[in-house]
Amino acid sequence: MPRASRSRATRRVLLLALGVLILAGALALGRGASLERADCAFVNGAEPATLDPAAITAIPEGRIVRALFEGLVVRDPETLEPRPGVAESWEVSPDGLLWTFHLRQGAVWTDGERVTARDFAFSFERLLDPRTAAGYASQLFVVEGARAFATEVDERGAPRRSFDTVAIRAEDPSTLTVRLEHPFAPFLDVLACPQLAPVSERQLAAMRERFPSTWTVEWLRPEHLVTNGPFRLLERRANDRIRLGRFAGYWDAAHVAMETIDALAVEHASTALNLYLTGEVAWVDQVPADLADRLSKREDFRSAAFLGTYFYRVNVSRAPFDDPRVRRALALAIDREAIVRKVTRCGEQPLFACVPPGFGSFAGAPMRHAASFAEDVEEARKLLKECGRTLPPIAIHYNTRELNRDVAEVIADSWRRNLGVSARLENQEWRVFLDTQKKIAYDVSRSSWIADYADPFGFLEIFTSGNENNRTGWGDARYDELLRRAAAALEPERSELLREAESILMEALPILPIYAYASKNLVDPRLQGFFENALDEHPPKAWSWKQP
């Protein structure tokens, strides 16, 4: 090729490349046609894995599902007390077993049909059906026959029993009855969980007919999904945003102020903060750890005790941690004050119990500890001398995250300085970490637990023998018995049983409590109807803008 035509070819090719680039860019941009700005936007953390109420497990999913769907009861945004949702009223038999819910006439689906008791029976069956593989199916195991229905499966994974054996009945379109196996004090709190929201039986059947092989995905698309909550699903852009729009047919629509709300999928704390600082969003629920100190002094920083705990599991099947004195010495020698003051810095509280504070009247039974850290260290040293052995180096196992590393460093330092025990940090990627913990192949392992509803039972239940969330190798027959009795007991006996169980746990210490969580919200001061509460739940139904 002669030089002139070669250079022309080069130029042409480059121009072509440029043209293709511009075209491709424009096309790709055009695909995501720009949206009008929503009335209100907030940062929702990770992209929700699903919007199917039965399948959700994480907090960001719960926020969206609670806005889209409404269960029999809802939680008061301020006090968290159960309030009427689709059920206008309810009564319970004197023995605490038979619950009767009266559904309101005005509750409708977005397709205009009435929300009936049948929808709820269907949705509860769906939640329990082993083929749904719902992580929260066990929430309903307190219902008579539910556990057997959900866990006895044939070789195809289908339930062996008929749903008729489960005591959930739609007596008529507006009456639903549920019979429990034993009285269960927090039953209404359970019903307020987003996993127990109803789905439209009619819509699912229609979708199954229309998309025989893909209906499990299709029914949740914005153009198909039928909901009954204060908002409807307007748009869903994976990894970007979920747009909620006010549902005019909602029975309480008069009290819903926001027309459109965007829930942004933003995981990076600094990005979330940038969006907040530039007024793009009205609420972020996390702050970058390195700025926690400065941000927590801002006026729009709102923090409250939050029903979650940060603790270490101890592998009690591995020497020397099989000795309760060693575990107690380790628990006593943790400088919790240093952790909450120097590491977490957002209002977290040092914790000496399994159940965090904030459960109303529940007093709890913290581990014995002195008023000052120095005295605790004194006792810890004495305990170690008593068992007469030198401790081998301890591996602190945690999932890779800056905060976990910083906490582990403070603890390792505490143990080294106060007990002369050397500790090394051992981090693992999240799922490898979970696998190690599942196999109980660690010395001490970072852990946390967050309440689904305001009740201490859940925190204690996980340490019963054989519970899949125990993961310490610890078990105590009397503890199991107390929990079993507490499950069926009514107040005040229930609290007493739980307190006794906690005292056993805090004597044996298969876990080392460290601190109780605090919520860390940055909230636009003009946003009304946003309340701090112990579950860090902030339903957008209550939100409105302060009039200027």
Partner 1 sequence: MIRFLAGRCLGFALTLAAVVLVSFVLMRAVRGGPFDAERRLDPAIERNLRARYHLDWPVHLQLLQYVGPLNLDERGARFLGGDGSRVLGGVLAGDFGPSLRYRDQTVGDILAQSLPVSLALGCAALLWALTFGLLAGVVSAVRRGTRTDLALRFLATALVALPNFVVASALVILLAFLWPLLPVAGWGSWRHLVLPSLALGAPVGAHVARIARTGMLETLSQDFVRAARGKGMPERIVLLRHALPGALVPVASYLGPAAAGVLTGSLVIERIFAIPGAGSHFVNSALNRDYTLAMGVTIVYCVLVYALNTGVDVLHRVLDPRIARESA
From the list 215-223, 500-508, 523-531, 535-543, the region that binds partner 1 by CB under 8 A is 215-223
448 binds partner 1 (CB under 8 A): yes
Cβ closest to partner 1, residue 277 vs residue 370: 277
Cβ closest to partner 1, residue 44 vs residue 344: 44
In the complex, the smallest distance separating the C-beta of residue 274 from partner 1, rounded to whole angstroms, is 4
State how far the Cα of 270 lies from the Cα of 243, in Å rounded to an integer. 23
32 binds partner 1 (CB under 8 A): yes
Q: Which of 117, 275, 365, 512 binds partner 1 (CB under 8 A)?
A: 275
Q: Within a 10 A sphere around the Cβ of 275, how many other Cβ atoms?
A: 18
238 binds partner 1 (CB under 8 A): yes
Cβ closest to partner 1, residue 104 vs residue 237: 237
5 binds partner 1 (CB under 8 A): no
State how far the Cα of 456 lies from the Cα of 263, in Å rounded to an integer. 30
Q: Which of 76, 113, 267, 496 binds partner 1 (CB under 8 A)?
A: 267
Among positions 457-476, residues that touch partner 1 (CB under 8 A) are: 468-469, 471
State how far the Cα of 318 lies from the Cα of 409, in Å rounded to an integer. 22
274 binds partner 1 (CB under 8 A): yes
Interface with partner 1: number of residues (CB under 8 A): 83
Cβ closest to partner 1, residue 108 vs residue 403: 403
Cβ closest to partner 1, residue 101 vs residue 231: 231
* Upstream peptide bond of 492 is cis (omega within 30 degrees of 0): yes
Per-residue b/e over 284-316, b at no fewer than 16 CB within 10 Å? bbbbbbeebeebbeeeebbbbbbbbbbbbbbbb
From the list 116-124, 269-277, 389-397, 513-521, the region that binds partner 1 by CB under 8 A is 269-277
Q: What is the DSSP letter of 42?
A: E
Token pair in block for residue 141:
């195991």
408 binds partner 1 (CB under 8 A): no
State how far the Cα of 112 lies from the Cα of 339, in Å rounded to an integer. 54
237 binds partner 1 (CB under 8 A): yes
E strand spans, 376-520:
394-399, 423-428, 444-450, 511-518
User: At a CB cut-off of 8 Å and minimum separation 6, what does 228 contact?
Assistant: 69, 70, 86, 107, 108, 109, 110, 115, 198, 200, 250
Cβ closest to partner 1, residue 257 vs residue 265: 265
* Contact (CB, 8 A) for 59 and 263: no
205 binds partner 1 (CB under 8 A): no
Cβ closest to partner 1, residue 18 vs residue 253: 18
- Within a 13 Å sphere around the CA of 177, how many CA atoms are in the beta-carbon half? 10
Cβ closest to partner 1, residue 55 vs residue 329: 55
Q: What angle do CA 438, 316, 518 make, to 5 degrees?
A: 65
Q: Which of 65, 117, 121, 134 binds partner 1 (CB under 8 A)?
A: 134
Token pair in block for residue 213:
């092989």
Q: Which of 97, 98, 108, 153 binds partner 1 (CB under 8 A)?
A: 153
2 binds partner 1 (CB under 8 A): no
Q: Which amino acid is at 341?
A: R
19 binds partner 1 (CB under 8 A): no
State how far the Cα of 204 lies from the Cα of 218, in Å rounded to an integer. 10
Of 42, 49, 60, 63, nearest to 263 by C-alpha is 42
In the complex, the smallest distance separating the C-beta of residue 101 from partner 1, rounded to whole angstroms, is 26
* Contact (CB, 8 A) for 509 and 331: yes
From the list 109-117, 155-163, 355-363, 491-499, the region that binds partner 1 by CB under 8 A is 155-163
In the complex, the smallest distance separating the C-beta of residue 283 from partner 1, rounded to whole angstroms, is 15
State how far the Cα of 461 lies from the Cα of 479, in Å rounded to an integer. 9
208 binds partner 1 (CB under 8 A): yes
Provide the residue count of the chain: 548
In the complex, the smallest distance separating the C-beta of residue 278 from partner 1, rounded to whole angstroms, is 5
25 binds partner 1 (CB under 8 A): yes
The SS3 call for residue 506 is helix
Q: Which of 93, 111, 135, 375 binds partner 1 (CB under 8 A)?
A: 135
177 binds partner 1 (CB under 8 A): no
Among positions 46-65, residues that touch partner 1 (CB under 8 A) are: 47, 49-52, 55, 57
State how far the Cα of 485 lies from the Cα of 457, in Å rounded to an integer. 11
Cβ closest to partner 1, residue 211 vs residue 531: 211
Q: Which of 94, 212, 492, 548 binds partner 1 (CB under 8 A)?
A: 212
In the complex, the smallest distance separating the C-beta of residue 216 from partner 1, rounded to whole angstroms, is 6
User: At a CB cut-off of 8 Å and minimum separation 6, what does 468 contact?
Assistant: none
Q: Within a 10 A sphere around the Cβ of 99, how many other Cβ atoms?
A: 23
